[in-house]
Amino acid sequence: MRSFGTLRTPVGTLGVICRGDAITDVGWRLTCPDDAAETADPLLTETLDQLAAYFGGGLRRFDVPVDLGEQSDGTRAVLTYLHESVLYGESITYGELAERSGSGIPARGIGAIMGANPVPIIVPCHRVLASDGLGGYSGGEHGQGLATKRWLLEFEGVLPPPLF
């Protein structure tokens, strides 16, 4: 049985789906699936607590188990490298992630993988940047992707806050 919960954050309300032994989905437009219950599963509660601590400034690394679902070996390598190696306050370019992950996926393919990340924030796809700017971001409330990415990067200290 899956469980579902939500958390209000400075960048919108996040939904979280837990399968009991792993977090399978995190997102801004998630709703409770038909086969899930809005109950207090211990892992779901821990994940929501860790997300709240992250947004409160008290957590820099998530330690909940995630299940990336069915992915190609290359996609799994990219997301796993990102999750394990690009820490709070750091960033990496699409090209660097392509090279360092050893996935064999070219830089232009990394953006599609980031857009398909089932557990954003926990697997920090917002930390992946274009070589000449922010790049894209499909997270956040509807129409707020780049603003959400910028907020997260400013929050983590990767980008300076705006002057005005």
What's the predicted TM-score (pTM) here? 0.94
* 32 vs 163, higher pLDDT: 32
pLDDT at res. 36: 81
Tokens read off for 145: 């992707």
Give per-residue pLDDT as tens, 22-36: 999 999 998 888 888
> Quick check: 84 pLDDT over 80?
yes
Catalytic, out of 11, 14, 125, 128: 125
In angstroms, rounded to a whole number, what is the distance separating the alpha carbons of residues 74 and 97?
Answer: 12
In angstroms, rounded to a whole number, what is the distance separating the alpha carbons of residues 164 and 160?
Answer: 12
Decide if 104 is inside a domain. yes
Give per-residue pLDDT as tens, 98-133: 999 999 999 989 999 999 999 999 999 999 999 999
Residue-range definition of the domain harbouring residue 7: 2-55
CB 145 within 8 A of CB 137: yes
Q: If you compute the radius of gyration of the chain from its CA atoms, what whole number of angstroms results?
A: 15
Q: Which amino acid is at 39?
A: T
Whether residues 22 and 79 share a domain: the answer is no
Decide if 21 is inside a domain. yes
Active-site annotation holds for 18: no
